[in-house]
Amino acid sequence: MFGLPYNTVVVLFGASLLGGSVGLVGCFAILRGRALTGDALAHAALPGVCLGFLIAGERHLGIMLGGAFLVGLLGINCIAGLRRWTRVKEDAAIGFVLSVFFGAGVVLNSVIQRLPGTGSKAGLDSFYLGKAAGMSADDVYHIAAMALVLLLLVALLYKEFKLVTFDSAFAQVQGMSALALDLLLMAQIALAVVIGLPIVGVVMMAGLLIIPGVAARFWTERLGAMLLLSLLFGFLMGLVGSGISSEVAIPTGPIIILTGTAIFGGSLLAAPRRGLVSRILAQRRFQRDLDRRKLLRVLFDLSEPRLPGRAELALADLLQRRSWQPARLRRLLDEARAAGQVAIADGRYALTAGGLQRAAEVARGYRLWELFLHEYPDMALAADLTSESVEPVLPAAIVADLHAKLKLAGRWPRG
């Protein structure tokens, strides 16, 4: 297929399908603040796998995965129970389940390896680091079946999951059982972990659950979009990671994770709005906007006494009013001149007619805010003070009151 060896196609297909479906359920874990529960689950599954092997007496995949699923759920219930009934905090509860269950798994594994004949065939070693490259067509069928189940569940119960994720109290009021939905979510994660474990291994499994969702969160505020993106990122991690690994001889699991790390890093930097670069740019833009407003306000304050005449101001006057850096002030003045708001004659600055109008507007907004903070101090924390003036932010009644009071005080700027 596509001119690639059959094995490579199987691995590419399986890894990307796995990445996509695990990324999908990982989203919910992250949104519910349970990112590391998946990690605990992946560790807790090991003794289940071993028990399954001991019970079946051979490498029977169904029984081993069933054991992993059940013990994984037991681990999750341990975490929940410890949190509810004792003073043990969630982090320590997760740490307990993760390490003690895994320790028990290591012990059982050593028991299995001691068994005559069958021990070495258990192939349990792959559970530590995974063996993505050795994926068989059967594995891919399992992954596909799991992916289908997960997709169907998420599609059918989308509304319920959404509600229980963002407002579980409200979901309960609506008659949904938050507990049942929570368990279902955890069961989904357990299913994904159990299927993925032999392929990518314990530690990488945690990465596969966490990274796509966290990366997707940078790009959107909507759950639906986040789920789709997370699915896509997980898919890409599997595809690109296993692709690289088939070209260069390095282990598949880790390179899948590093692909994810790259996607995460890219999202962290480049995502619009929530990304680091755009947040820094927005911060800069806001700062410059604030500076411009500040300059106009100072110019207006200094010009106001001589209105309707024209005030010509020296640089020193302006410098005195505010702690500007002289160079910065000059740059701001140049910008204002370019915008036609300020005129220069003989090294003295004056507002143009258009500039005066705009400056009066800015000064009015500022004075209204000042008045607001003075008159309604208890509302100050709730208001968005970054807005230029009060009108778009505050209730109409308060705005009218502030207007009236400012006019009464004779401080209403006239441009």
Query: Site residues (CB under 8 A) for another protein?
Result: 30, 33-36, 39, 82, 85-89, 91-96, 98-100, 102-107, 109-111, 114, 125, 128-129, 203-204, 206-207, 210-211, 213-214, 217-218, 249-251, 253-255, 257-258, 260-261, 264, 268, 274, 276
State the Cα–Cα distance between residues 310 and 214, nearest whole angstrom.
Answer: 57
State the Cα–Cα distance between residues 202 and 128, nearest whole angstrom.
Answer: 5
Give 187 or 268: the residue with its C-beta nearer to another protein. Answer: 268
What are 148's two structure tokens?
A: 């289908």
State the Cα–Cα distance between residues 72 and 83, nearest whole angstrom.
Answer: 17
Q: From the CB of 35, what's the least distance to another protein, in Å?
A: 4
DSSP 379-394: GGGGS-TTSSSSTTTS
Dihedral angle, C-alpha 167, 172, 177, 182, nearest 10 °: 20
Give 157 or 203: the residue with its C-beta nearer to another protein. Answer: 203
Burial of 408 (0-12, 13-18, 19+ CB in 10 A): exposed
Is the C-alpha dihedral spanning 300, 302, 307, 313 positive or negative? Answer: negative
Give 23 or 260: the residue with its C-beta nearer to another protein. Answer: 260
Q: Are 101 and 47 in contact (CB under 8 A)?
A: yes
Neighbours of 377 (CB within 10 A): 9
Q: From the CB of 71, what's the least distance to another protein, in Å?
A: 14
State the Cα–Cα distance between residues 59 and 64, nearest whole angstrom.
Answer: 8
Q: From the CB of 180, what's the least distance to another protein, in Å?
A: 24
Q: From the CB of 84, what's the least distance to another protein, in Å?
A: 10
Give 95 or 415: the residue with its C-beta nearer to another protein. Answer: 95
Give 275 or 415: the residue with its C-beta nearer to another protein. Answer: 275
Q: From the CB of 392, what's the least distance to another protein, in Å?
A: 26
Give 33 or 308: the residue with its C-beta nearer to another protein. Answer: 33
Q: From the CB of 94, what's the least distance to another protein, in Å?
A: 6
